[in-house]
Structures are given as C-alpha cells and as structure tokens.
Structure 1
Amino acid sequence: MKLKIIHETSYSYDTPVEALVQSLRLTPSVHEGQRVSEWRISVSGGQRGAAFRDGAGDWIEGWTVRGPVEEVTVQIEGLIETRDTAGVLRGHRESVSPIVYLRSTPATKADAGLKELAASVQGEDALDIAHRLSAAVSKAIAYTPGATESVTSAAEALELGQGVCQDHAHALIACARERGLPARYVSGYLHTSVGGKPHDAAHAWAEIHVGSLGWVGFDAANACCPDERYVRLGSGYDAQDAAPVRGMAFGISIESLDVRVHVEEIQQ
C-alpha cells in the first residue's frame, strides 16, 4: 500500500515566548514492513540542529525556534510504501536490550485490576499469551473517544472500562510486563475508515517481545496486529516517552495546540 501523509501540529501562545526547543521523532522507522519514498519535516521559523538514531532505532531531530514566538507549526509531508508482515517487526536495527522494557512507568504501572487481568490469560507459549492478552484488553476497555485524557493511566482506564488507543496500549503493556514479557508503546499513523468514511489519524499500539520471533505489534484498540495500513514512527516506555513531538518553551505563556493528520492511499 502506498500512503501519502500530511501531519501538522500548530502551537500558539497568548504571550510571545522567548524561544522554543523541540525534539522530533517524526521520521518513519526503517524495517521490512515500510519504505519511505519521500519525507519532509519543516518547522516554521525553525533551525534544524543535531539529528541521530537512538538505541531503540528511532530517528530524532532537534529544532530551535528563536523568539519572540507567537505561533509555530511543525509540518510533515511524505510518501511511504507499506506491506503486511503480520505485526512482526523484521529488519529493524536497535541496540537496546528488550529486557529494559520490563520497567513500568506511572502510566503503565499494574494495579490489582491489571494484575488480575494479566493472570486470567493462559496460553501455550509467549506469542499465544500476547495474543490473548491483547484480546482481553480489547474486551475490558471499550473504545470511546473523549472518555479519557492524555494523563490517564492504564489502571484508571481499566477501572473506567473505556478509553482510546493510548489507553489500550498502556493497559496491554502493563499486562505483558506483569507476565514477564517486555513491552513498549509505539506511535505512528493508521489509514482506515469508520462507517464507510475516511478516518485518518495519528495512532498508537503496543509491541511485545516474544522470544526468537522478536518484537510483534498488537493493536488492542482495533483487535488486530498492525498490517499495511499502519505506519510506524517510534517507540518508548509509554506515550510520553514515545511522543512524536517533545519540547520546551522559554517564557511564561499559555500554550494552545491544534493537530491535523491526513493519511491517503495513493494508487500504485
């Protein structure tokens, strides 16, 4: 599948800030399931700084915007070809040991409810357990836009019984780690439709390390493994760690955020 992606993130400030520093994890991962044809990142009024590939295999760029800054827009435009690898992350080079992803964070800490959910699953091997954990999370947390916030933890989403893709990913990560399986949060894009209408947006899912097979993606929000509709950007311990855009504004101001994402299939 060939996809065209446009992603704009605009920040505005009620009082101009002195400067803005950003770390962008907005370049698609390099692996067998996707190949970039064209990709351009721009930051209005920004100057590109250092760029590097971290230990998890993610490409990170630093940008600086000198003030006074009232508004700044981060824009991504690109073409990428994807194919279905049944969720298996093949050909992705990274130096970090999977063991480090057994560490929990405030967003993925397992409480009594998550521990009970993780223990309720039985399977023949690690891969089977991972699939069953994903199915259990899908059943336990109904996909409900607006039901949670960005700071909602996996435990809170499970107790509420509702959430969005971020909550499904956090809950699955918590359950997998509880069963001794390294798990991490993945940010990216998903091309799909809802009710026959295009529904293109930024998306998130989880990856679980299952022995010799390596990292395998699980999207509990959609009850499936990532296929050719998915574009992988980067990963982390949780949503905050894997955020595509992280930064700091220098000055006292109230920040407003507007995000627009469009993913379109291009005929071969």
Structure 2
Amino acid sequence: MTVRSESSSASPDMRLFVHHRTDYRFSEPQDRVVQLLRLVPASHIGQNVVDWRIDVDCNARLRLGRDGFGNETAMLYIDGPVHAVSLAVMGEVLTQDQAGMVAGAAETLPPVLYIRATPLTAASEPIRALAAEVEGADGTSLDRAHRLMALVHRRMRFVPGRRIDGRNAATAYAEGEGNAADLAHVLIAAARRLGLPARYVSGHVLRPAHQHEWHEAAHAWAELHIADFGWIGFDPTADRCPDDHYVRVAIGLDHRDAAPVSGTRTGGGSEVLDVGVRVGIEG
C-alpha cells in the first residue's frame, strides 16, 4: 500500500525518513491472521506526508479505512498456513516546528471525551497527589501542563525498548520507570485529574545522535487540550513539546486505541514479535 501527497509547506524545516518493521514468527502454522494497522500518518499543518508505503512479505489483503478517532487504518487479512509475517513501513515526511500545537488534523470527537479515564490511565492516589502539586501552582492551564510534563519527566526513569505489556499508569508510576507509552499514560492520567482533556499519541521521533540505529519500539507522547490554544503535544520522555523531529501517526484514549499493530490469529502455539524503528534525515 502506498500513500502519496503533495506538500503544502513552502519552506519545510525537516525532511524525515521513517523505517518501521514488524516481524511475527509462529511456533505452529496459523490458519488465519487478522491485524489492524495504524501505521499511516496523515498530513496536517506542520506535517506533510510525501511518500508512505506498507509492504507485506506474503499474500495478503489490505482494506483501508478510518477509525472513530480519525486515524487512518488498514485491516490486514492473511490466510494460512502462516509460519511468519513481516511488515515493512517506509515513508518520507516534511515537518515544521509548531511548538507542539496541532492544527488541521482530523478531529472526529469533542475534547470533553478525552476526560474519560480508561483501565490504562486510571489515576491512583500517588498520581492524584502528583496532579495536586500542579493544581495549586500559579499560572495558566498551559503553565500547569508544562509543569506536569516536567514533573513526570523527573519522577520517572525512561527505559527505552521496554515492551508494551499492558501495565497501567498506576503501576508504572509506582515503579518509577517505564517506556514512552508508560510515561504518556501517567501524564494523561494526571492531566485528566486536573480537568484537562488528554489523549495518547503514537508516532516517531528523530534522535539525531542515533538516527542510524534501530530502536525496539515506536515513540509515544500525549496531547492536552488547553483553552484558547487547542490541542498541544507534550512529550514527558524528553520534557519538551513535539517539534519538527516528530511524526504524528495515531491518537486515542490510551495505547490500545493507537497501537501501530494489533489483532488476532487462528491457530495454536506461541508467537515471537520483533519490532525495529529507524528515523533519519537520509532515506
């Protein structure tokens, strides 16, 4: 599947190339594999998709669509016997620094919906206490959002490559460490306690010193809806608002709504999943 669009940006600040591979290996042949893919970014102000391609290494059917959050999706159907599946994503995106502000993106749901907690983002007593530290501080809602991001960044140690294993925000915060998804969940849980609509974002980030390396997972951050500004991205892993180093792919209430790949299989045995992500300024 190939996606192409013409850039509407007169002077892009960054040209990013994304390579994302997902490999499944099964201990026994599978009768059928069905996967929901949220791997395709959309163009909006500050982000223009020039070229984007998904390749599958076996005979498969793809059905394109859009989910309730406005994410571009593809349903992948593979009939067995299936011993292994490899997905390869390659894309080129032009980005500009918008100071984290999101504009021109598909918005299918009202901000108030993103106040609702989920099992992954329910606020424990320690997370409520974290939100209370910010709630009593002076300043605007935007100031409080920045302070909250900085607190999560300081209180939690980022562990790159840690697998998404269904840990919720309360467990991650209690352990004091986690991957990018864990830190995003904690920020979202605390922000909702402050009455700020907050949502999960999956995507990619350029780390200039590591652009030739493969990483074990895509990136994740949060977006908070701030009065008079709209949606603004906050990345507690890096303690900064997303800039032209970021490619925004999918959103949701939590990781499960925006996971790059999820689905089911029909067949016995076990599976081994291997993910590799590389973002650079060279194709």
TM range (shorter): over 0.9
Distance 2:145 2:33 in 1: 41
Matched, 1:26 2:39: yes
Whole-Å separation in 2 of the counterparts to 1:90 and 1:200: 30
Pick from 132, 138, 141: which aligns with 1:126? 141
2:207 pairs with 1:192: yes
Residue equivalent to 1:263: 279
How much does 1:167 deviate?
1.3
2:86 maps to which of 52, 58, 73: 73
The alignment's C-alpha RMSD in Å is 1.8
Shift of 1:48: 3.1
Contact 2:212 2:278 in 1 (8 A): no
Using structure 1 for the length normalisation, give the TM-score. 0.93
Report the Cα offset of residue 145 of structure 1: 3.6
How far is 1:265 from its partner?
A: 0.4
**Superimposed CA distance per residue, residues 89-108 of structure 1 (whole angstroms, 9 cap, x where no aligned partner):** 11112121111111111211
Q: Of 9, 27, 38, which residue of structure 2 is paired with 1:14?
A: 27
3-state secondary structure, aligned to 1:136: helix
Seen in structure 2, the aligned counterparts of structure 1 residues 46 and 213 have a Cα distance that, compared at 3 Å, is: farther
Within the alignment, does 1:252 sit opposite 2:265 as a pair?
Answer: no
Q: Please, which runs of 5 or more residues in structure 1 have no aligned partner? A: none
Q: Secondary structure at the match of 2:82?
A: strand
Counterpart amino acid of residue 246 in structure 1: S
Deviation of 1:151 (Å) = 2.0
- C-alpha offsets along residues 127-152 of structure 1, whole Å, 9 cap, x if unaligned? 11111111111111122346785222
Shift of 1:198: 4.8
CA contact (8 A) 2:208 2:280 kept: no
- Aligned counterpart, 1:243: 259
Q: Which residue of 2 aligns with 1:61?
A: 74
Corresponding residue pairs, total: 266
1:206 corresponds in structure 2 to 222
Under a length normalisation based on structure 2, what TM-score does the superposition of the two structures give?
0.89
Letter in 1 for 2:103: R
Superposed counterparts of 1:114-153, under 5 Å: 114-121=127-134, 122-145=137-160, 150-153=165-168
Instruction: Give the drift of 1:221.
Output: 0.6
Structure-1 separation of matches of 2:152 and 2:222? 12
Deviations 1:111-136 (A, max 9, x none): 10000000101242221111111111
Superposition deviation, residue 212 in structure 1: 2.9
CA distance in 2, matches of 1:84, 1:47: 37
From 194, 197, 205, the counterpart of 1:179:
194
| Amino acid in structure 2 at the alignment position of 1:144 | V
| Aligned-partner Cα distance in 1 for 2:259–2:75 | 14
Residue 193 of structure 1, CA deviation: 4.1
Q: 1:97 to 1:178 in 2, by over 3 A?
A: same
What CA distance in whole angstroms lies between the structure 1 residues aligned with 2:225 and 2:59?
Answer: 38
Task: Give percent identity, aligned residues only.
Answer: 42
My pick for the range that moved more, 143-152 or 82-91, is 143-152
Q: Is the 8 A contact 2:21 2:275 kept in 1?
A: yes
Asked if structure 2 preserves the Cα contact closer than 8 Å seen for 1:107 and 1:238, the reply is yes
Question: Quick one: which amino acid aligns to residue 184 of structure 1?
Answer: R
Q: Secondary structure at the match of 1:105?
A: coil
Letter paired with 1:82: T
Note the residue ranges of structure 2 that are not aligned, 5 or more in a row.
Answer: 1-13
Q: Secondary structure at the match of 1:27?
A: coil
